[in-house]
Amino acid sequence: MSTNQKRACIDPAHESLSIWRQCELIGLSRSSYYQEQKLVYESKENLAFMRMIDEEYMRHPFYGSRKMRQYLRRQGHKVNRKRIQRLMQKMGLQSIAPKPNSSKPHPEHKIYPYLLRHQEILCPDQAWCADITYIPLPGGFVYLVAIMDWYSRYVLSWEVSSSMEADFCISSLESALRRHGPPDIFNTDQGSQFTSKGFTEVLKVAEVLISMDGKGRAMDNIFIERLWRSVKYEDVYVKEYSSVSKFIQGMREYFDFYNNERPHDSIGNKTPAEVYWECMQIAA
C-alpha cells in the first residue's frame, strides 16, 4: 500500500482510534500523515493583522480586542474592533486572560476542579499540563498542542492540526501516555477539546486525576504559556516556515533542542530532559 493510500485510510473523526493509533496500526508515520495538513486560509490583509496580533499577544497577553485595536491603529492601520474580535477568536486568543479561547467550555461537557492549588510538585509525572496555540504560516495558519511535565518542563508530546477539534489533542495525549506512562494529575484549561468526552475518557481509563484551571486563573498553566513564547520567539518568528510539512519538521528539531539542549533558569540551569530522566532513574 502506497503512502497516499495509507493517508486515505486515516479517519480523523474515528470514535475510538486517535490519528496516532491509526497511523501506528497501518504503519504510517505521523509526519507523513500531517504533511497533508491544509492551512486555514484568510485574506492576505487579515493574515498580516493576525501575525501582528499574535506577536503583540505574546508580548502583552493581557490585551483584549480593544487594546489590540488601539495597538494596530497606532501602527497606522484603520481597523475596527469587530474585525479584531473575529480574528482573535479564529486565532484562539481570549480577551480577558493570557490563555487561548480554547478555554471556553462546551455547555454539555463536565468541568473538573482545579487540583494544583497549594500542591507542591516534587517530581516528574506528578502533574502534566497541556495547551493549544495558534501558529502563523505564509498564506494561512495551523494549531499546535503540547503536553508538558510540570516539574521538569519536559515536552512529552505534541501534534499539529488545521482545526481546533479534539482529535489531535487526544492523539497527543495517547502518545504521551504510551511513551511515559500516566501522571498522577493532568491539568488543562476548560477548553472544549480538553473537556470533551474523548479526551477525559482517555485520562479516566489511565486512572489519572483531572484538573482544570478556574476562570480568570491565568497563572494556573503558566509553564506551558512560557513554552509558547519560547517556541514562537526562538523558532517560528525567526524561521518563517513556508509550509505545514516544513513547520512540523522544524518543531521536531526545536522540541528536541528544547528538551535536550536548552538550559532553564527555573530548574537549576539544567535541561528538561536532564531533570526528567535523572529523577526517574533515582525513583527507579
Check whether residue 21 and residue 104 sit in a common domain: no
Contact 169, 197 (CB under 8 A): no
Contact 209, 115 (CB under 8 A): yes
Q: How far apart are CA 90 and CA 134, in angstroms?
A: 9
User: If pLDDT is split at 50, 70 and 90, which confidence band does 2 have?
Assistant: low
Quick: pLDDT tens for 50-106: 999 999 988 888 888 999 999 999 999 999 999 999 999 888 887 544 444 544 555
Q: How far apart are CA 92 and CA 143, in angstroms?
A: 9
Check whether residue 77 and residue 169 sit in a common domain: yes
Check whether residue 17 and residue 113 sit in a common domain: no
pTM of the model: 0.81
Residue 258: closest CA among 158, 182, 189? 158
The region of weakest confidence among 54-68, 106-120, 172-186 is: 106-120
Number of structural domains found in the chain: 2
Check whether residue 12 and residue 126 sit in a common domain: no
User: If pLDDT is split at 50, 70 and 90, which confidence band does 138 have?
Assistant: confident
- In a domain, residue 76? The reply is yes
Check whether residue 123 and residue 27 sit in a common domain: no
- In a domain, residue 39? The reply is no
Check whether residue 196 and residue 279 sit in a common domain: yes
| pLDDT value, residue 167 | 86
**Are β-strands 127-137 and 140-149 bridged in parallel, bridged antiparallel, or unpaired?**
antiparallel
User: If pLDDT is split at 50, 70 and 90, which confidence band does 30 have?
Assistant: low
The average pLDDT across 114-125 equals: 90
